């Protein structure tokens, strides 16, 4: 199904659409507004040079688009809402019939996890603090300087006076009635600032509290919130530990129905069309066909869930000489936003092939089998999924440092006495594993290296040997998949150079495909590599580089100074190349 396009260069088309929009705005037809919004957005991508040719015409289209976006508010995703708060919040205040606060409450009701609601509230507050729109007419005095009356500057003055925490009603009233900047405003402008402050304060209230929960009347009793209608309890939300999401029983049942009613169907588009939309919409100009193809591959990987946001940002910013696109921060931010906007439609449009479906099913069966057969052993080295915190990575470090000290002490003091930590049970497990998992000669040699256990050194002059309590023996892997998952930085470096280690990882994954069960096992191996300490370090370093706005090299040097576990620059670049080859 192709999208209907508008001829944006034709003023008569604009006038016709403006009349249609006027009817939509007058009667707040949200669904019709949403369809019109998507049609204008799609057409603007084809007229990316309209601003240069006719800036007035382009501005009229932009103004119209902002209005229909606010009327379409119930249908926007949260990324779009956050962007509107940063770029067009004042337009909502000026638009008659835009009930932003009540519609925002409904938007939060669709989010069943209360912690997730709080995250969105934080992002919306941050977006407001970045908003550069003028909300009043005259300049204001902030910290002894006259500045433009933008949303950002008004809230900056408010935060300077009262801090960024929750501000009581009394302090709010003092600000709104006695602040010198407020006293100069007209009654209409005072109302806008009052509304701005009220919205800002409302977004500070946690949904985990009776004051901030969107469901209405709530009473906190111990570890739960009871939602009240009149004198009856109609729902219960349990507030467990931070790792347990606070989920309403009622919301869990209603979420699917609300979402289905909220989002109208959109034309589905293919992967190539989605990438072309981004290229045209941002006016990207490539110096060569190779550069264009590289960008298409990077964007396509994100749209198909082959890469996450952090990896995509890294590769888009990376030097083209080492496989990147060489783009600056600003354009990368815009590309990521457009990718997020296009992704749901591509994801809906494209169905997984039989190989992918089979891989997913096989992997699910394998995971279920592991839980039943290897419960305690497998769970002992299952890493946390998704985002890995600094603490998780650094907990590995002390053991490695002690191992290094033990090995160094062995060479310097020439100690010969060694106690083996390997038990008879482990020897039995080795035999069983070797019978079940016949591997090629190359992998057998690698496994034999990993089976070497940590040695506890006895000082020459002491009769009694004190064991190193913090040194723990890492369980041997039960399969190549487990070996990839539990691969540490020390293991990686024992395999030789960074390039040799990367080749070893790739060989193991290829062998899984050839000998263990085809594509499903290969997919399982790639997933295990993604969970390894090396790949988690790679993602962590990349994330720190993006968040701090500095190069990967600087992040690595800083981590080395602080004594944190880290990849070298060569290892980091090798992982980039390896992940490119694995295409995940």
pTM attached to this predicted model: 0.46
Residue 542 pLDDT > 60 = yes
Q: Domain check: are 144 and 228 in the same one? A: yes
47 occurs within a structural domain: no
User: Between these two residues, 87 and 408, which has the higher pLDDT value?
Assistant: 87
SS3 430: helix
Q: Domain check: are 94 and 166 in the same one? A: yes
Q: Domain check: are 139 and 236 in the same one? A: yes
Query: Dihedral, CA atoms, 24, 28, 32, 34, nearest 10 degrees?
Result: 110
Burial, 262: exposed, middle or buried (Cβ in 10 Å; 0-12, 13-18, 19+)? Answer: middle
208 occurs within a structural domain: yes
Q: Domain check: are 240 and 298 in the same one? A: no
Chain-centroid distance of CA 351 in Å reads: 23
198 occurs within a structural domain: yes
364 occurs within a structural domain: no
Q: Domain check: are 241 and 276 in the same one? A: no
User: Between these two residues, 395 and 528, which has the higher pLDDT value?
Assistant: 528
Question: Which of 449-463, 505-519, 549-563 bottoms out in mean pLDDT, i.e. has the lowest?
Answer: 449-463
45 occurs within a structural domain: no
Residue 147 pLDDT > 80 = yes
E strand or H helix at 232, and its extent?
A: strand 232-238
Would you state the pLDDT for residue 406?
44
Percent of the residues in the chain that have a pLDDT greater than 90, as a whole number: 26
- Among 261, 296, 317, which residue terminates a domain? 261
Query: What gap in Å lies between CA 583 and CA 360, rounded to an integer?
Result: 16
Could you tell me where the DSSP H helices lie in 350-479? 354-373, 375-379, 390-394, 397-413, 424-436, 441-450
Q: Domain check: are 82 and 129 in the same one? A: yes
Number of domains present in the structure of the chain: 3
User: Between these two residues, 497 and 277, which has the higher pLDDT value?
Assistant: 497
CB of 557 closer than 8 Å to CB of 548: no
Q: Domain check: are 190 and 325 in the same one? A: no
CB of 271 closer than 8 Å to CB of 350: yes
Question: Which of 80-89, 236-245, 423-432, 544-553 bottoms out in mean pLDDT, i.e. has the lowest?
Answer: 423-432
Q: Kindly report each contact of residues 466-473 with a partner whose C-beta sits within 8 Å and lies 24 or more positions away, as own/partner.
A: 468/402, 468/406, 470/398, 470/399, 470/402, 471/399, 471/402, 471/403, 471/406, 472/399, 473/421
User: Between these two residues, 301 and 233, which has the higher pLDDT value?
Assistant: 301
Residue 174 half-sphere exposure toward CB, CA atoms < 13 A = 8
365 occurs within a structural domain: no
Would you state the pLDDT for residue 192?
94
Q: 10 Å Cβ neighbour count for 21?
A: 21
pLDDT digits (tens, 9 = 90+) for 376-397: 433 333 334 444 444 434 444 4
Residue range 554-583: mean pLDDT, rounded:
86
Q: Domain check: are 184 and 214 in the same one? A: yes
DSSP per-residue codes, 56-86: HHHHHHHHHHHHHHHHTGGGS-HHHHHHHHH
* Count of all residues that appear for the chain in the document: 584
Q: What is the largest distance, in Å, between two alpha-carbon atoms of the chain?
A: 98
15 occurs within a structural domain: no
Percent of the residues in the chain that have a pLDDT greater than 70, as a whole number: 66
Phi/psi-derived region of residue 159, left when phi > 0, alpha when psi is between -120 and 50, beta in every other case: alpha
Question: Which of 372-381, 433-442, 478-487 bottoms out in mean pLDDT, i.e. has the lowest?
Answer: 372-381
Residue 314 pLDDT > 70 = yes
E strand or H helix at 221, and its extent?
A: strand 218-221
Residue 463 pLDDT > 70 = no
pLDDT digits (tens, 9 = 90+) for 162-197: 999 999 988 999 899 999 999 999 999 999 999 999
Mean pLDDT of the chain: 74
Residue range 273-277: mean pLDDT, rounded:
82
Q: Which residue has the tokens 């082959």?
A: 306
Query: What gap in Å lies between CA 57 and CA 85, rounded to an integer?
Result: 24
Partners of 146 in beta bridges = 141
Q: How far is CA 206 from CA 83, 108, 233, 348, 568, in A?
A: 21, 12, 21, 33, 41
Q: Domain check: are 152 and 243 in the same one? A: yes
- Among 227, 261, 295, which residue terminates a domain? 261
Q: Which two tokens stand for residue 503?
A: 């080749």
125 — pLDDT class (breaks 50, 70, 90): very high
Q: Domain check: are 187 and 119 in the same one? A: yes
SS3 419: strand
Question: How open is the CA angle 75-21-30, to the nearest 5 degrees?
Answer: 25
Q: Domain check: are 88 and 182 in the same one? A: yes
- Among 327, 349, 371, which residue terminates a domain? 349
pLDDT digits (tens, 9 = 90+) for 332-353: 888 888 888 888 777 544 444 4
E strand or H helix at 225, and its extent?
A: strand 224-229
Residue 262 pLDDT > 60 = no
236 — pLDDT class (breaks 50, 70, 90): low
Q: Which two tokens stand for residue 155?
A: 């809230």
384 occurs within a structural domain: no
Residue 496 pLDDT > 70 = yes
Would you state the pLDDT for residue 188?
93
Residue 253 pLDDT > 80 = no
160 — pLDDT class (breaks 50, 70, 90): very high
Residue range 109-120: mean pLDDT, rounded:
87
Would you state the pLDDT for residue 509?
84
Q: Domain check: are 340 and 251 in the same one? A: no
Query: If we measure between CA atoms, which residue out of 382, 311, 300 comes closest to residue 347?
Result: 300
User: Terminus-to-terminus CA distance in the chain, angstroms?
Assistant: 30
Would you state the pLDDT for residue 143?
87
Those residues whose C-beta lies under 8 Å from the C-beta of residue 263, and which sit 6 or more positions away, are 75
SS3 51: helix
Query: If we measure between CA atoms, which residue out of 238, 203, 204, 202 comes closest to residue 218?
Result: 238
Domain ranges, residue 524? 476-584
């Amino acid at each position: 199904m192709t999208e209907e396009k508008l001829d944006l260069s034709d003023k008569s088309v604009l006038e016709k659409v403006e009349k249609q929009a006027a009817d939509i705005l007058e009667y707040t037809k949200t669904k019709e507004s949403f369809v019109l919004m998507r049609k204008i957005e799609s057409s603007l991508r084809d007229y990316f040079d309209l601003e240069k040719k006719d800036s007035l015409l382009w501005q009229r289209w932009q103004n119209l688009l902002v209005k229909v976006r606010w009327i379409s508010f119930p249908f926007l995703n949260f990324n779009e809402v956050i962007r509107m708060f940063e770029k067009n919040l004042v337009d909502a205040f000026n638009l008659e019939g835009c009930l932003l606060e009540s519609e925002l409450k409904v938007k939060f009701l669709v989010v069943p996890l209360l912690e997730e609601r709080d995250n969105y509230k934080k992002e919306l507050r941050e977006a407001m603090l970045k908003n550069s729109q003028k909300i009043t007419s005259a300049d204001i005095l902030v910290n002894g300087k006259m500045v433009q009356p933008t949303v950002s500057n008004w809230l900056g003055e408010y935060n300077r006076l009262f801090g960024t925490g929750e501000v009581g009603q009394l302090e709010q009233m003092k600000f709104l009635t006695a602040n010198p900047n407020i006293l100069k405003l007209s009654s209409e402008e005072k109302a806008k600032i009052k509304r701005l402050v009220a919205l800002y304060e409302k977004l500070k209230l946690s949904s985990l509290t009776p004051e901030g929960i969107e469901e209405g009347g709530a009473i906190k009793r111990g570890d739960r919130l009871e939602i009240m209608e009149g004198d009856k309890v109609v729902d219960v939300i349990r507030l467990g530990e931070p790792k347990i999401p606070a989920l309403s029983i009622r919301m869990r049942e209603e979420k699917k129905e609300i979402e289905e009613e909220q989002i109208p169907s959109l034309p589905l588009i293919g992967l190539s069309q989605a990438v072309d939309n981004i290229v045209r919409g941002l006016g990207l100009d490539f110096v060569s066909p190779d550069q264009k193809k590289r960008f298409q591959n990077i964007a396509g990987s994100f749209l198909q869930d082959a890469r996450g946001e952090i990896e995509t940002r890294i590769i888009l910013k990376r030097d083209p000489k080492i496989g990147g696109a060489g783009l600056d921060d600003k354009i990368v931010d815009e590309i990521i936003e457009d990718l997020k906007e296009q992704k749901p439609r591509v994801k809906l449009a494209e169905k997984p092939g039989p190989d992918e479906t089979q891989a997913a099913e096989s992997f699910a069966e394998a995971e279920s089998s592991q839980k039943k057969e290897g419960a305690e052993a497998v769970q002992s080295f299952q890493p946390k999924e998704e985002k890995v915190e600094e603490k998780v990575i650094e907990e590995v470090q002390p053991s490695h440092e002690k191992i290094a000290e033990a090995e160094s002490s062995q060479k310097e003091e020439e100690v010969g006495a060694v106690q083996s930590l390997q038990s008879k049970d482990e020897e039995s497990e080795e035999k069983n594993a070797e019978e079940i998992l016949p591997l090629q000669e190359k992998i057998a040699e690698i496994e034999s290296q990993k089976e070497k256990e940590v040695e506890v050194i006895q000082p020459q002059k002491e009769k009694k040997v004190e064991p190193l309590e913090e040194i723990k023996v890492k369980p041997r892997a039960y399969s190549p998949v487990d070996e990839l998952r539990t691969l540490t930085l020390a293991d990686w470096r024992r395999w030789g150079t960074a390039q040799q280690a990367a080749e070893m990882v790739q060989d193991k994954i290829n062998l899984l495909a050839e000998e263990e069960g085809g594509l499903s096992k290969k997919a399982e191996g790639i997933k295990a590599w993604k969970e390894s300490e090396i790949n988690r370090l790679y993602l962590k370093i990349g994330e720190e580089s993006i968040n701090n706005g500095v190069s990967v090299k600087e992040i690595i040097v800083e981590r080395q100074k602080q004594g944190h576990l880290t990849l070298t620059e060569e290892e980091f670049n090798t992982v980039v190349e390896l992940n490119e080859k694995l295409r995940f």
